[in-house]
Structure 1
Amino acid sequence: MRPIDITATIQITARPQTVFDYLANYTNDPQWRAEIKDVQLSTPSVREKTLVTETSFLSKKVPRHVSPLQCVTLLPGQSVTSESTAASPYWSRNTRTVEPLPGGRTRVTYRLAFDPRVVKHGLGFGLPRFIVHFYTKATMKKYLAALKGILEGKS
């Protein structure tokens, strides 16, 4: 099945390295991604091949969904990408990129691609792609706004 693939961006008034360090540390995710309840890493800090185990709340039907991911690409200070492992029943990939902008600002680009069958798993029924896309995009924008609030408070 063709994945859902969504990209969202935001500008944050913070140093690019500060933003990247926060984004590349997946254990920070519960602070800005509401459905994430816990993240465990197989290494003290994220590097290529680090296993990232996310525990999330999908719905009342699936209150504890475990997603095994692996860091597949790390470009220090620029981007980090994780992708589901073979142990995951639903494929996903996310890329977090930072780009310096003038005036002490940083552009964050968050790209998420995933198997839409996870929606049926979480809800017990499928939804049309356009609804999943709309909901996911709106949720990503909320997450990036939360991220902005956290990081601008740290600057």
Structure 2
Amino acid sequence: MKIATFNINGVKARLPRLLEWLEETRPAVACLQEIKSQDEGFPIAEFEKLGYKGIWHGQKSFNGVAILADGEAPVEVQRGLDGEPEDDHSRYLEADVFGVRAVCIYLPNGNPVPGPKFDYKLRWMKRLRERMAAIRAEEVPAIVTGDFNVIPHDRD
């Protein structure tokens, strides 16, 4: 099964290229990050014309993630990460599709360091690790995709 991930940096702005890419590569599952679209404005009809079904977790102008599947509707398992009720960023989406638990993330970048954005990133990563441990305990086939915003070396 081909599973692809794509930081689209604005789904509407890059929709023609995204549709072309989906037709060319035809992944069974496509996980998108940084869709930058509110839920009601997500262009699902365009993907459905290609045979894709999807779920998405959008946010105006920032963030946002989506999971598209070729011919099968992803079944949402979780939207957002537990543990910080005030966190309203659309950065996490989890679904069951084709017998696999697909997780799509758009991890915060944390700049500048040190600072509150970096502190938020570290807390977010802790919550992610906790959720991944819970999925592992379920013993379901799973894949975690997305934009991890981790650059361990300057050359990265």
TM-score by length of 1: 0.29
Is the strand fraction higher in 1 or 2?
1
Is the helix fraction higher in 1 or 2?
1
| More contact order relative to length (CA 8 Å, sep ≥ 6) | 1
